[in-house]
């Protein structure tokens, strides 16, 4: 599942997946997800790109339903862009027979994970600037559990429901953007790779 949480999950087709499968487009999508609406110029400055390049890629993302113009912020000279709300699901079975679809999906997932890791690294580098109450509140860690595929799917749905509950609530005073990351995957068995029991 791509970044974002809401009640309705949008499933995307192969053409839309391939349109997203560009490193800069994934970065723009991630920036708008994590930091909220921005102009092409602001995105260009943050990403080290030209505003012409970010404008082009924003229009491509808009064409395929990933972003939209934030009309409330625009003033005729500056166009503001926002991510279309809600999660976007990539269903592997849908792309199995389409040429290039698996590669596009792999590129998108790799880029999203890289962007998540970069946001965590940026937090880690700047954590000394945080107040004590934020430092106490930060959550980071992992857990290893034994699950069946059905149990892992059920756990994932429960986690996304919790994310959705907090995302759709009215922000409290003093709230700031918080990046919530969740990954659930089977651990690669090193013994199986070595051929031992």
The larger pLDDT score, comparing residue 192 to residue 57, is at 57
Report the SS3 class of residue 82.
strand
Residue 16 has pLDDT above 90, yes or no: no
Q: For the residues 102-115, what does the mean pLDDT come to? A: 88
Residue 119 has pLDDT above 80, yes or no: yes
Residue 7 has pLDDT above 90, yes or no: no
The larger pLDDT score, comparing residue 4 to residue 33, is at 33
pLDDT of residue 49: 96
Any idea what the Cα angle at residue 128 is, between residues 126 and 132, rounded to 5°? 125
pLDDT tens by residue, 32-57: 988 889 999 999 999 999 999 999 99
pLDDT tens by residue, 73-88: 867 678 999 999 877 7
Please provide the distance, in angstroms rounded to a whole number, between the alpha carbons at the two ends of the chain.
34
pLDDT of residue 196: 46
| Domain residue limits, the chain | 10-119
Classify residue 114 as exposed, middle or buried by CB count within 10 Å of its CB (0-12, 13-18, 19+).
Answer: middle
pLDDT category at 101 given cuts 50, 70, 90 is confident
Tokens of 3: 């970044």
Strand partners, 67: 83
Rank 21-30, 63-72, 112-121 by mean pLDDT and report only the highest. Answer: 21-30
CA distances to 128, 142, 151, 193, 195 from 189, in Å: 37, 18, 19, 7, 10
Report the SS3 class of residue 197.
coil
Distance CA 111, CA 26 (A): 6
Tokens of 69: 């113009």
Q: For the residues 141-162, what does the mean pLDDT come to? A: 92
Distance CA 26, CA 112 (A): 7
pLDDT of residue 6: 44
Fold for 10-119, please state it: Arc Repressor Mutant, subunit A (1.10.10)
């Amino acid at each position: 599942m791509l970044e974002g949480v809401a009640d309705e999950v949008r499933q995307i087709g192969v053409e839309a997946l391939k349109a997203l499968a560009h490193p800069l487009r994934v970065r723009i999508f991630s920036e708008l997800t994590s930091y909220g609406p921005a102009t092409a110029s602001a995105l260009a400055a943050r990403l080290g790109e030209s505003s012409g390049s970010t404008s082009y890629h924003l229009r491509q993302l808009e064409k395929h339903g990933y972003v939209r113009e934030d009309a409330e912020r625009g003033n005729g000279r500056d166009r503001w862009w926002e991510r279309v709300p809600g999660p976007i699901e990539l269903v592997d079975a849908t792309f199995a027979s389409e040429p290039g679809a698996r590669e596009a999906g792999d590129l998108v997932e790799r880029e999203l994970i890289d962007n998540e890791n970069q946001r965590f690294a940026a937090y880690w580098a700047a954590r000394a600037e945080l107040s004590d109450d934020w430092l106490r509140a930060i959550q980071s860690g992992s857990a290893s559990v034994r699950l069946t595929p059905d149990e892992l799917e059920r756990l994932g749905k429960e986690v996304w429901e919790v994310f959705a509950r907090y995302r759709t609530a009215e922000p409290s005073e003093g709230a700031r953007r918080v990046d919530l990351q969740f990954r659930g995957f089977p651990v690669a068995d090193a013994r199986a790779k070595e051929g031992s029991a």
